[in-house]
């Protein structure tokens, strides 16, 4: 094991100790609900999405309902999440693609998911990990990218390259939980503008890269 991996394992162990119950904070009951919620979460907080989705899912409970939805109604329901026109179009198009290609079911394969409208690798990894328990990769959002760089786990800024670095450092069995732990740390302690380094349990392990 390289020195980098040894240090990374210490960081991962401390993250696990701090956030043993870390999980996706989007509310969902089915893979479809998580897929739609994740599309809505772009440039929006999970808390805001969670306030919007109960009515959205009540009105459109399955892919067939989404596929035939009126854009104006979708726009109204998701308006507060921002970029509502694009999100409404993506949600309806996603529903249509699920009906046409997958019998209305969310596929449990990465290559099939990323071909759906509005779905990129981050969304696909999250759905596979949190809805299906499939470790297809490491979810890299803004929090994961920021925290991983500050901790010295990657020197990359491109999400795909950040993901590759994290995959190389962590065993596959840890990929799903690792992403959630990094996200929780980024939301609770390692904040974007003013990280709370003084009370951070990772302070002794953190090189504080790019932290003013």
pLDDT tens digits in sequence order for the chain, 212 residues long: 556 899 999 999 999 999 999 999 999 999 999 999 999 999 999 999 999 999 999 999 999 999 999 999 999 999 999 999 999 999 999 999 999 999 999 999 999 999 999 999 999 999 999 999 999 999 999 999 999 999 999 999 999 999 999 999 999 999 999 999 999 999 999 999 999 999 999 999 999 998 97
pLDDT at 1: 52
DSSP-assigned letters across all residues of the chain = --HHHHHHHHHHHHHHHH-TT----S--SSHHHHHHHHHHTTTS-HHHHHHHHHHHHHH--SHHHHHT--HHHHHHHHGGGSSHHHHHHHHHHHHHHHHHHHTTSPPS-HHHHTTSTT--HHHHHHHHHHHH----S----HHHHHHHHHTTS----SHHHHHHHHHHHS-GGGHHHHHHHHHHHHHHTS-SSS--GGG-TTGGG---TT--
| Residue 189 to residue 197: CA distance in whole angstroms | 8
- State how far Cα 119 lies from the chain centre: 11
Closest of 153, 143, 109, 146 to residue 128, by C-alpha: 109
pLDDT at 45: 96
Q: What is the largest CA-CA distance in the chain?
A: 56
Q: Does residue 79 come out as left (phi exceeding 0), alpha (psi in the -120 to 50 range) or beta?
A: alpha
pLDDT at 195: 96
Catalytic residue among 5, 21, 27, 122: 122
Burial class from Cβ neighbours inside 10 Å (0-12, 13-18, 19+) for residue 190 reads buried
194 is catalytic: no
**How many other C-beta atoms are found inside a 10 Å radius of the C-beta of residue 133?**
9
pLDDT at 212: 76
- State how far Cα 167 lies from the chain centre: 16
pLDDT at 106: 98
* 101 in Cβ contact with 78 (< 8 Å): no
62 is catalytic: no
**Domains of the chain with CATH codes:** 3-23+140-205 (1.10.1670.10), 31-105 (1.10.340.30)
Catalytic residue among 27, 46, 89, 141: 141
- State how far Cα 84 lies from the chain centre: 19
Tokens of 4: 């980098």
């Amino acid at each position: 094991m390289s020195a980098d991996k040894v240090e990374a394992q210490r960081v991962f162990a401390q993250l696990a100790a701090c956030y043993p119950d870390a999980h996706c904070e989007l509310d969902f009951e089915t893979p479809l609900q998580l897929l739609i919620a994740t599309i809505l979460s772009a440039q929006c907080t999970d808390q805001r999405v969670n306030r919007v989705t109960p009515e959205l899912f009540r009105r459109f409970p399955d892919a067939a309902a989404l596929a035939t939805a009126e854009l104006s109604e979708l726009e109204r329901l998701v308006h507060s999440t921002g970029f509502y026109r694009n999100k409404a179009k993506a949600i309806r198009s996603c529903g249509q693609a699920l009906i046409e290609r997958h019998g209305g079911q969310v596929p449990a394969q990465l290559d099939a998911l990323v071909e759906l409208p509005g779905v990129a690798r981050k969304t696909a990894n999250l759905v596979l990990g949190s809805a299906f328990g499939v470790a297809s990769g490491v979810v890299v959002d803004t929090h994961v990218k920021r925290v991983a760089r500050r901790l010295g786990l990657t020197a990359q800024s491109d999400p795909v390259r950040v993901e590759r670095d994290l995959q190389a450092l962590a065993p596959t069995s840890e990929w799903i939980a690792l992403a959630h732990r990094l996200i929780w740390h980024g939301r609770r302690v390692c904040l974007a503008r003013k990280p709370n380094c003084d009370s951070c349990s990772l302070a002794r392990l953190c090189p504080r890269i790019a932290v003013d």
